[in-house]
Structure 1
Amino acid sequence: MVLIAHISFGFWDHFYHDDAVLARIVHHVAYLGTYGVELFFVISGYVITSSCLRYSPREFAGRRFWRLYPVFALFTLLYFVLNLVTRYEPVKLGVGKLLLNLTFLDLFAGTPALTPNAWSITYEVWYYIATYGLLWFLLRSTSPWRVVGAIAFMTLAGYMLAAYDITIYFVGGALLYFLQQRLRPVIAAGPATAMALAALVVIVAIAGTMDFPTNTYLEMPGMVLPAVALVVATLIFVQAVLFGQGALSRLLCTAPVRFVGTISYTLYLAHPYVYIAMRELLRRVGVGNYPWQITLLPYLVATIAIALGVSWVIHKLVEVGPYELIYGNRIYRDPKPADPTEHAQPAEAAMETNPR
């Protein structure tokens, strides 16, 4: 969703900015692209809660570091060097801003993320820290300081929720994890596909027409009700797909979708660079001189194909290579076939197949 939103919006913005019809189309697509991040926060909250309860503090931190940081650092440093040479965005220059980004402190310093899309990775890291600390001190720690630790991480979690309203999606995903045993029989016995489709209609109607700021997501005058409805519809959609066995669940387990999901973290950070290169190529061939009805589809197909190929290579070399070398096991494994006579543990299966 993010990939298609970025490359289609940029295509209009740089080559067909005066076309009103294409403008309406790409703006709706752009809204859905923003929602793609919100949807991911729900999935992340669900999966990471399982990881928080599974690993010791040291192992959790190590696995998260080697899972996320190499690719993040690669693209952050790449952008810094390219920006230093081209001065593409002078406001992002400076070693201080680079260090704030590399340590994920830019969120609190108010400085912009360097590489495109990296803002959400910073959110993720602080979600991980707050969630793990809170669950550790509340459920697992035997330290005499556990009350103090619980209060400290509860304060951090409260700050994230109050300062960045979009955090509600991550919290919702975590709640789904704890409610899974109660929700599973209800969803499995009920019309899961119908519930997912109904929620999807609400999601498209709201997310495709409205844009909500991350900081004041639930506070915009006149938009509070749609914002809350979107959060609720998202949680219904995710839990119906997770715990149901309908058509949508089966679709999301097909090989093409799983491939894109597997490389999605690298794809998320890599595709802006592919788009910039494609944009320069299209500028040189004068693509704007032709009707967008002819050029849009070939452009989308070519850009997506190249982005997938580049992302797969970086995924293998940088994203999973160091992790698998250090921990001696694969990140992704094929899930075991579902046994209809047993209640499988979806979080553990998701841990092995979800890209983050």
Structure 2
Amino acid sequence: MIETAVSPARPQSAAPAPAGARDAAAPPRARAGGGRLRPLDGLRLLAALMVAVYHYAGRGGEVTRAWGSSPKDLFPSLHVWAAYGCLGVQVFFVISGFVICMSGWRRPLRSFFASRAARLMPAYWVAVLLVTAVFALPGVVYEAVSPSEALLNLTLLQQPLGGDRVLGVCWTLWVEIRFYALFALFVVAPGANRRRVVLFCAVWTLAAAIATAAEEPLLDLVVMPEHAPLFIGGIGMYLLHRDRRDALAWGIVAVSWLTGQHQAVQSLWHGRGAEHFSYRSASVIALVVTLGFLAVLAVALGRLRRADWRWLTTAGALTYPFYLVHEHLGWVVIDALHQGLGVPPALTLAATVAVMLILAWLFNRFVERRATPWLRRSLAAPAGKPRVRTGP
């Protein structure tokens, strides 16, 4: 679910299908997509911090055991607003639509697959093993999954196969994988260009509406009507990043925002479990989703190009590993600091976020920087020709 705001891939000589007339007419900077979008990196970290505050102070569940009491009692004011932090996921999905369209533009399918797998899997594998190991320690009160379930989690298919999740946040990765599959099948494989991307957005929007009306589980599983508008909105914003005069792209973004905020309200205000968040306001939910759309749109249109600070690259690099480990390992840190050492709640909250950011830096430094390039090269390399043996 989490994407890096990297520069788009350079056009490949083997890329299929020439671009449409609008692609050919676009100025060179627009065709290239510009340089690294550091403000998008900063936005990603902000969304991750929103989710972390939600998990630590905006909900109940296992974190209540870590605090020793309800976060609602410990943070009476913050708790109400932290309950909206889960909407950071909606912001992530909008960013993902933007970045995946940028990453897949004029890119061979094999290279696209390699970049996605290499981006997701190394940190995820280590996070699964680390959380499983920590939860299995004698002094940790949280129940570890069985060895069989832990191994299943390494495939990222535990959710459709009905397995227990090691990482609570991995449900969003299952959503991301289905988005990657749809985009790869219908856009990247035939060759990404504006015409195909616009058609993909239009068909997916219509299919999402039909799936909502049909209430057919299999259709919901494939089309993802709850999340589709967010990804589609991000894709439309990438088209605007290439050409802000693209009227169809503006239409894609507008329809995606209108349907996306509605889906968020339906899910978080009326949906399953919403009775536990009766103090949430439908208007605030819609406002947060709207602000997320506007923030990504500002990046797409170059309104935030002055915020081209180098430290935002580091912020973006920390986001994915932080997102993976912050929830469950955060429980352990909160328990140790607040109940074990008697650290006040506010200081415990800040210290836990800091510890998770440090752990994310270690993941990036020692896992992602080493494993990701190697895995990408290995997956992207064409299969070698079989050797022909000569002689006896």
Alignment partner, residue 53 of structure 1:
105
Larger helix proportion of the pair: 1
The letter of the residue matching 1:93 is S
**Inter-CA distance 225–91: structure 2 relative to 1 (3 Å threshold):** same
**TM-score computed with the length of structure 1 as normaliser:** 0.64
Preserved contact between residue 267 and residue 308 of structure 1 (Cα < 8 Å): yes
Alignment partner, residue 284 of structure 1:
340
For structure 2, the 5+ residue unaligned runs are 1-49, 194-202, 212-218, 248-256, 275-280, 378-392
**Inter-CA distance 233–241: structure 2 relative to 1 (3 Å threshold):** same
**Alpha-carbon distance in structure 1 between the residues aligned to 2:89 and 2:127:** 19
**Inter-CA distance 231–286: structure 2 relative to 1 (3 Å threshold):** closer
Counterpart check, 1:93 vs 2:154: no
Alignment partner, residue 326 of structure 2:
271
Counterpart check, 1:261 vs 2:316: yes
Alignment partner, residue 349 of structure 2:
300
- C-alpha displacement of 1:106: 2.7
The letter of the residue matching 2:53 is I
- C-alpha displacement of 1:23: 3.2
**Alpha-carbon distance in structure 2 between the residues aligned to 1:215 and 1:137:** 37
**Alpha-carbon distance in structure 1 between the residues aligned to 2:181 and 2:341:** 48
Preserved contact between residue 67 and residue 320 of structure 1 (Cα < 8 Å): no
- C-alpha displacement of 1:57: 1.9
Q: Deviations over 1:155-176 (max 9, x none)?
A: 9996446445123212221222
Alignment partner, residue 17 of structure 1:
70
The letter of the residue matching 1:279 is D
Counterpart check, 1:244 vs 2:288: no
**Inter-CA distance 22–184: structure 2 relative to 1 (3 Å threshold):** farther
Preserved contact between residue 160 and residue 167 of structure 1 (Cα < 8 Å): no
- C-alpha displacement of 1:89: 5.7
For structure 1, the 5+ residue unaligned runs are 142-150, 187-198, 218-222, 288-294, 329-356
- C-alpha displacement of 1:133: 1.3
Preserved contact between residue 164 and residue 216 of structure 1 (Cα < 8 Å): no
Preserved contact between residue 164 and residue 215 of structure 1 (Cα < 8 Å): no
- Determine helix, strand or coil for the equivalent of 2:165: coil
- C-alpha displacement of 1:71: 0.9
- C-alpha displacement of 1:296: 3.9
Q: Deviations over 1:162-208 (max 9, x none)?
A: 4451232122212222343443699xxxxxxxxxxxx9xxx9xx989
**Inter-CA distance 274–100: structure 2 relative to 1 (3 Å threshold):** same
**Inter-CA distance 232–49: structure 2 relative to 1 (3 Å threshold):** same
**Alpha-carbon distance in structure 2 between the residues aligned to 1:137 and 1:111:** 31
Of 226, 229, 241, the match for 1:180: 241
Counterpart check, 1:71 vs 2:128: no
Superposed, 1:2-151 pairs within 5 Å as: 2-9=51-58, 10=63, 14-17=67-70, 20=73, 22-32=75-85, 34-84=86-136, 92-93=145-146, 95=148, 97-139=149-191
Moved more, 258-267 or 299-308: 299-308
**Inter-CA distance 256–265: structure 2 relative to 1 (3 Å threshold):** same
- C-alpha displacement of 1:120: 1.3
**Inter-CA distance 182–16: structure 2 relative to 1 (3 Å threshold):** same
Alignment partner, residue 29 of structure 2:
none
Preserved contact between residue 8 and residue 26 of structure 1 (Cα < 8 Å): yes
Preserved contact between residue 98 and residue 236 of structure 2 (Cα < 8 Å): yes
**Alpha-carbon distance in structure 2 between the residues aligned to 1:233 and 1:160:** 27
**Inter-CA distance 207–297: structure 2 relative to 1 (3 Å threshold):** farther
Superposed, 1:146-185 pairs within 5 Å as: 159-160=220-221, 162-163=223-224, 165-183=226-244
**TM-score computed with the length of structure 2 as normaliser:** 0.59
- Determine helix, strand or coil for the equivalent of 2:166: coil
What is the percentage of aligned positions where both structures have the same residue?
A: 23
Preserved contact between residue 263 and residue 312 of structure 1 (Cα < 8 Å): yes
- C-alpha displacement of 1:107: 3.2
Aligned length: 283
Moved more, 131-140 or 229-238: 229-238
Preserved contact between residue 83 and residue 93 of structure 1 (Cα < 8 Å): no
Q: Tell me: higher relative CO, structure 1 or 2? Use CA pairs within 8 A at least 6 residues apart.
A: 2
**Inter-CA distance 94–73: structure 2 relative to 1 (3 Å threshold):** same
The letter of the residue matching 1:106 is Q
